[in-house]
Structure 1
Amino acid sequence: MAKIAYILLCHKDPEGIIAQAERLTAAGDFIAIHFDANARREDYDRIREALDGNRAVAFAARRVKCGWGEWSLVEATLQAVTAAEAAFPRATHFYMLSGDCMPIKTAEYAHAFLDRDDVDYIESFDFFQSDWIKTGIKAERLIYRHFFNERSHKWAFYTSMKLQDRFGLTRKIPADLQIQIGSQWWCLRRRTMEWLLDFIKRRGDVMRFFRTTWIPDETFFQTLVRHLVPEHEIRTRTLTFLMFTDYGMPVNFYNDQYDLLTSQDYLFARKVSPDAKALKDRLGKLYAATGVSFPISNEGRSLFKFLSGRGRVGRRFAPRFWETEASLGRERTLLIVVCKKWHIAKRLVERIRQVTGLPAVDYLFNEANTALPDLGGIQTTLEKRTRHRRALVRMLFDYWQTDQLVICIDPANVDLMQDFYSDRSNTRLLEVECDFTDDYLIGHARRVGLAGDRTPPETIDKLLPTIRYDVRFESDRIRDADFAGFQRIRQSVPPQENIVPLAAFLGISADKAREIAETDYLFVD
């Protein structure tokens, strides 16, 4: 059975470190601790005193002063790894943790998970080909030697790079290495760790190279594991659940996110807020529990993206200013049907086609597989359609040789509606207001990836009010925009009440509008 030696890098919260060590070792695992030499000596002494006598705890032989982005972080990790490898011969896996990590599964579950496959878990993507680095310098991390910290000595950091560039002092990457990049939160088998420790003893050139690279904790282990271990024995993922905001900052987890965390396909989570004492207490007790089953839904990232995008009009950004193209034509009329239930809007526009003969297109800006004629390639992707939307719609008018065209748009796309309303053509808008049952909203959450088949009911219950509000918010935004020619039909009223708005929207007689409004299957889910 798997026995885990946790490699804990920490620099604060001695009481939390003591609790973490006691919790993990009580379940039969081991822990090797490196406590940053920048931190207070009395905090370190308190940890040593509290854990003295616990034979499942080891400490790095030497404490290193750590700085973000520096080799010191890798050096500290190697100090703890070396201590663990010597002290715990029964350890089968080495798992990298920080003081902000908490278990989100039981030890029983973690051991069974690691026993399932004889592999290493580490993110390792090609440094140059992948898009793992989103901002900042890239190749410069490797080809220049970095002796200064970018955060604490910014001027010296960038001046050093400029001088190296000016005098042609770039260096080559060790020829036999293909540099990889990924998260520093890995879990490696004992055999892999022994190979790695032996490799660094033999390869002074590799050690010299990485000692002066920038942010080597994202490349050192990732590169060497990929160099030493067959590809089929590597899972390119981390077992620690972590997320980042749009600003590149780690997301903190709080007391009300216990169910969300335990339903993710990970063993630990980072970062749990220092203020989330109730969450820490629950997760701490969880690790030692037995017989616990975990319904894995794994919707955490998509759920966070959805929820964090709410609350600001624009809700993440102000309405975008899309590129403007030639007018659709002053004499043309664009009829926009807006409905959150796409199948109902499609049913409505099909009925409009049958009764009026008007050409109509379904969700051309929302569904990639919407049927469209060949328009020279502009219709091939959603990105192209949205970027060149006026040109696309103008070509549809020309293709059908018509002055009236019906299209469907999702209510979230208010910016599209505003752009078409700013055109010299005539634009009318029809909102189809539907009823939303809890079952429908749950199904919607699953379709868009906010929930899975095994998402706990507690998470669904918390999510439902947000989704319901989101639908209402989109409708309110459309009404607040005060679009001219705006009409609305509703599922909750008798069909005859929808005749007048349909007739006004389509510019047809009441008799024809009645044929459409009285379609008995129009609002069927």
Structure 2
Amino acid sequence: MARIAFILLCHKDPKGVIAQANRLTASGDYVAIHFDARANPKDFDEIRQALGENPSVVFSAKRWKCGWGEWSLVAATLEAVRSAIATFPQATHFYMLSGDCMPIKSAEYAHAFLDAEECDYIESFDFFESDWIKTGIKEERLIYRHLFNERTQPRRFYASFEFQKRFNLKRPIPADIQVMIGSQWWCLRRQTIEKVLDFCASRPDVMRFFATTWIPDETFFQTIVRHVVPRKELRTRTLTYLVFTDYGMPVTFHNDHYDLLMGQNYLFARKISPEALRLRERLGALWAAKGVHFPISNEGTGLFRFLTGRGRVGRRFAPRFWETEGSLGRENSLLLVVAKKWHVAKRLTASIRKNTEIPAVDYLFNENNAGLPDLGGVETTVSKRTRHRRALLRLLFEQFESNSLVICLDPSALKLVEDLMQDKADTRILLIDSEFDDDYIRGHIGRVGLAGPETPPEVIDRLLPTVRADLEHEAERLRDLGLLGFHSISPWRSPEDNAVQLARFLDLMPEKARELATTQHLFSD
């Protein structure tokens, strides 16, 4: 059976890296990690401490300071590949991943897919004849030496480039290789990786050539693999699903793309939005699933092109004028209660309605029954409320005849929180921290559809650590935003401490805030 060594290049989000490595190795596969030497050392220490005892995880012997478009990305990949080859003799395939990638099939499906055909999967198109490069320089990537990074040293990059052009300092391409180009997200067999490494050791001239080309991660492996492997054993495609815009930028996937991603004929997808926590949660659980049938439709790329091609005719991506230019008003205070345990937030809003004159509604952007008054139809569905969120909130301020309004939000709605915090209104956040025991996690797994009544208990037990980490990560991401007007309460704090936070959040006198903090069974499950 196929056993995969995932080559994971990453530079941020240590908790996400840890969760990804644990998820992938739980299926019997392996992970080789290269963590960018430019990144925060504390993040790398956190990853090493969490994964150091996992025998299916190895770290690159040397860490490179990576920069987009530089040779350092290829060098980092080679370091991780060498570590994986030496550490995991049972690995049959080597699969390139980034921290933004997530599985869109189960491990069971992926192993069977790779077992079905003896071949390598890598995009490999002729550099000069294909139209793979949409914008920017093309042959200049190869025939001139690129010693500086365009993004971090643009003046030096273009000065060097123009100097070489002016004095015709072109260089020849190694005569015996055909330069190819394609996506850097490949899956190669063990024997192919070994041939690539042998080639690297025997051809320092080719290594020197690629070391000063521009964006070599799109040409190096694509060229060398085509040079050392018969064409009949190559499939010129990637197993990682990605869509690019007309400007060469990768499309980002969000929570509502789950069904679409499952229907694509790929094993992984990128880029998954960091804020798409529910999508990440569901895809992470999918990797561990057994017996799942995947009907392949492959409509994703065509659908994206249709929608973007429609442009303003279809109004698919055009924001409404009241969403972009409208404001809730500088004189108004929008008070966001953010809590994963909805019943706790609802107890607090009920107490606010009972003990203060501040109007409070529940999860109006998450559930239909949020206790809203009749607002002329804009309140009828969750999707309509979200689409017209500023109009809805302005109507609520008017309906309640109040300059203050409390609403509840789920912490997974990070983009919505950021959007509302940018409004001209006085917008504040109260995060209700929670402890997630196993019983709560099991219930959550069922509520979000990760498992059903027939799911074996051992499968759910395997999901517990991953789902718990995702839930805790939601609160951390909210804290990491560093927003002004941020407050928090928790069951492990004293009522006095929670009362101080509530008083600041709601502009209440201490006595009234203590009444709220001592609400009966406030934090109970």
TM range (shorter): 0.5 to 0.7
Distance in 2 (alpha carbons) for counterparts of 1:111 and 1:306 = 33
Give the corresponding residue for 2:118: 118
- Which deviates the most, 241-250 or 6-15? 241-250
Give the corresponding residue for 2:145: 145
Give the corresponding residue for 1:19: 19
Query: Given the alignment of the two structures, is residue 79 of structure 1 paired with residue 79 of structure 2, yes or no?
Result: yes
Q: Superposition pairs for residues 98-113 of structure 1, below 5 Å?
A: 98-113=98-113
Give the corresponding residue for 1:30: 30
Distance in 1 (alpha carbons) for counterparts of 2:104 and 2:144 = 40
Report if aligned partners of 1:309, 1:316 keep a CA contact under 8 Å in 2: no
Report if aligned partners of 2:185, 2:239 keep a CA contact under 8 Å in 1: yes
> Residue 310 of structure 1: CA displacement?
4.5
Report if aligned partners of 2:150, 2:157 keep a CA contact under 8 Å in 1: yes
Report if aligned partners of 2:186, 2:238 keep a CA contact under 8 Å in 1: yes
- Which deviates the most, 298-307 or 260-269? 298-307
1:344-393 alpha-carbon deviations (Å, 9 max, x no partner): xxxxxxxxxxxxxxxxxxxxxxxxxxxxxxxxxxxxxxxxxxxxxxxxxx
Q: Superposition pairs for residues 324-339 of structure 1, below 5 Å?
A: none
1:148-198 alpha-carbon deviations (Å, 9 max, x no partner): 111122221121122112223211011110000000000000000000001
Amino acid in structure 2 at the alignment position of 1:269: A
Amino acid in structure 2 at the alignment position of 1:230: P
Report if aligned partners of 1:120, 1:188 keep a CA contact under 8 Å in 2: yes
1:301-347 alpha-carbon deviations (Å, 9 max, x no partner): 011122234462386999xxxxxxxxxxxxxxxxxxxxxxxxxxxxx
Give the corresponding residue for 1:181: 181
Distance in 1 (alpha carbons) for counterparts of 2:110 and 2:291 = 12
Give the corresponding residue for 1:172: 172
> Which structure is larger by alpha-carbon Rg, 1 or 2?
1
1:10-34 alpha-carbon deviations (Å, 9 max, x no partner): 0010000000000000000000000
Give the corresponding residue for 1:155: 155
Report if aligned partners of 2:14, 2:43 keep a CA contact under 8 Å in 1: yes
Query: Given the alignment of the two structures, is residue 227 of structure 1 paired with residue 219 of structure 2, yes or no?
Result: no
What secondary structure sits across from 2:172 in the alignment?
Answer: coil
What secondary structure sits across from 1:159 in the alignment?
Answer: helix
Give the corresponding residue for 1:212: 212
Aligned-pair identity in percent equals: 72
Give the corresponding residue for 1:281: 281
Report if aligned partners of 1:4, 1:94 keep a CA contact under 8 Å in 2: yes
Report if aligned partners of 2:123, 2:183 keep a CA contact under 8 Å in 1: yes
Give the corresponding residue for 1:9: 9
Give the corresponding residue for 1:300: 300
Report if aligned partners of 1:177, 1:227 keep a CA contact under 8 Å in 2: yes
Report if aligned partners of 1:92, 1:190 keep a CA contact under 8 Å in 2: yes
What secondary structure sits across from 2:81 in the alignment?
Answer: helix
1:257-290 alpha-carbon deviations (Å, 9 max, x no partner): 1100011000000010001111111110110111
Amino acid in structure 1 at the alignment position of 2:97: L
TM-score (norm 1): 0.59
Give the corresponding residue for 2:388: none
Distance in 2 (alpha carbons) for counterparts of 1:140 and 1:315 = 39
Distance in 1 (alpha carbons) for counterparts of 2:284 and 2:107 = 11
What secondary structure sits across from 1:134 in the alignment?
Answer: coil
Distance in 1 (alpha carbons) for counterparts of 2:46 and 2:169 = 47
Distance in 1 (alpha carbons) for counterparts of 2:164 and 2:176 = 24
Give the corresponding residue for 2:196: 196
Q: Superposition pairs for residues 238-249 of structure 1, below 5 Å?
A: 238-249=238-249
- Which deviates the most, 181-190 or 149-158? 149-158
Distance in 1 (alpha carbons) for counterparts of 2:166 and 2:312 = 46
Distance in 1 (alpha carbons) for counterparts of 2:118 and 2:35 = 31
Give the corresponding residue for 2:403: none
Give the corresponding residue for 2:337: none
Distance in 1 (alpha carbons) for counterparts of 2:244 and 2:141 = 22
Distance in 1 (alpha carbons) for counterparts of 2:238 and 2:162 = 35
Report if aligned partners of 2:186, 2:239 keep a CA contact under 8 Å in 1: yes
Give the corresponding residue for 1:89: 89
Query: Given the alignment of the two structures, is residue 133 of structure 1 paired with residue 133 of structure 2, yes or no?
Result: yes
The alignment's C-alpha RMSD in Å is: 1.5
How many residues of Structure 1 are paired with residues of Structure 2 in the alignment? 318
Report if aligned partners of 2:60, 2:83 keep a CA contact under 8 Å in 1: yes
Distance in 1 (alpha carbons) for counterparts of 2:3 and 2:78 = 19
1:121-171 alpha-carbon deviations (Å, 9 max, x no partner): 000000000000111111100000000111122221121122112223211
Distance in 2 (alpha carbons) for counterparts of 1:195 and 1:294 = 34
Distance in 2 (alpha carbons) for counterparts of 1:174 and 1:311 = 44
> Residue 114 of structure 1: CA displacement?
0.4
1:64-108 alpha-carbon deviations (Å, 9 max, x no partner): 110000000000100100110000000000000000000000001
Q: Give the unaligned 5+ runs of structure 1.
A: 319-525
CA 1:230–1:15 in structure 2 vs 1: closer, same or farther (change >3 Å)?
same
Distance in 1 (alpha carbons) for counterparts of 2:311 and 2:203 = 53
Amino acid in structure 1 at the alignment position of 2:161: M
Distance in 2 (alpha carbons) for counterparts of 1:316 and 1:210 = 42
What secondary structure sits across from 1:195 in the alignment?
Answer: helix
TM-score (norm 2): 0.59
Distance in 1 (alpha carbons) for counterparts of 2:90 and 2:186 = 19
Give the corresponding residue for 1:45: 45
